[in-house]
Amino acid sequence: MANFRIREAKREDCAEILGLIKELAEYEKMPDSVQMTVEVLQRDGFGEKPLYSSLVAEELDKDGATIPGKLLAYALYYDIYSTWEGRCIYLEDLCVTPDHRNKGIGSALFKRVAQICVEEGCKRLQWAVLAWNSEAIKFYKKFGGINMTDKEEWNVYRIEREAMNKIVQ
């Protein structure tokens, strides 16, 4: 059992969260994809019109006091909308720093997000996972995660900036 507590993220956490975002991108084998900066993360999460919410797990010392500058994990999520079910929540990222895996921190974060879904009356919690990431898939299946790409053949599609520019020319 790890000694940690979960709380909502604050503006001051953004530099550390960005460090964890970069760790996750490395783990997902796309380290060069992170265009994010601390300033943008602060503005978009804690400005006038928040675009996301975030939870963090911080380490506690033996007396139960938090250790500053020691975030162990974060979860970042936001509202999405199903025209069938109404408001839902999308879990964009859930990441535990490698040294602190398998201590129940990820589970505690995931459970807290599920709790928020229930409290807010959301009927679905969604996310995406890389098919090769068997560790994450095992984790999600434990909580009843359903692979909608397998079950109903939903595929993720995207256009990026270059394609958009062509369309709007």
- In which residue are the tokens 């006091």 written? 65
Number of residues that bind a copy of itself (CB under 8 A): 69
Residue 23 found at the interface with a copy of itself (CB under 8 A): no
What strand order describes the sheet that includes 4-8? 4-8, 53-60, 66-82, 86-96
Site string for a copy of itself, 91-130 (x = CB under 8 A): -xx----------------xx--xx-xx----xxxxxxxx
Distance CA 89, CA 79 (A): 5
If binding is defined by CB under 8 A, does position 48 make contact with a copy of itself? Answer: no
Question: Does 140 qualify as catalytic in the annotation?
Answer: yes
Using the rule CB under 8 A, give the single segment among 5-13, 60-68, 96-104, 152-160 that binds a copy of itself.
Answer: 152-160
- Binding status of residue 15 toward a copy of itself by CB under 8 A: no
Using CA atoms, how far apart are residues 95 and 101, in angstroms rounded to an integer? 9
Stretch that binds a copy of itself, among 2-10, 27-35, 55-63, 98-106 (CB under 8 A): 27-35
Q: Please give the single-letter amino acid code of residue 111.
A: K
What's the Cα-to-Cα distance from 11 to each of 47, 63, 72, 85, 128, rounded to whole Å? 9, 26, 17, 32, 26
CB of 29 to a copy of itself, least distance (A): 9
Cα(103)–Cα(3) distance, integer angstroms: 9
| Residue listed under structure tokens 């007396």 | 63
| Residue ranges in contact with a copy of itself by CB under 8 A | 21, 24-25, 30, 33-36, 40-41, 44, 51-52, 76, 78-87, 90, 92-93, 110-111, 114-115, 117-118, 123-132, 140, 143-150, 152-168
Positions annotated as catalytic residues are: 140
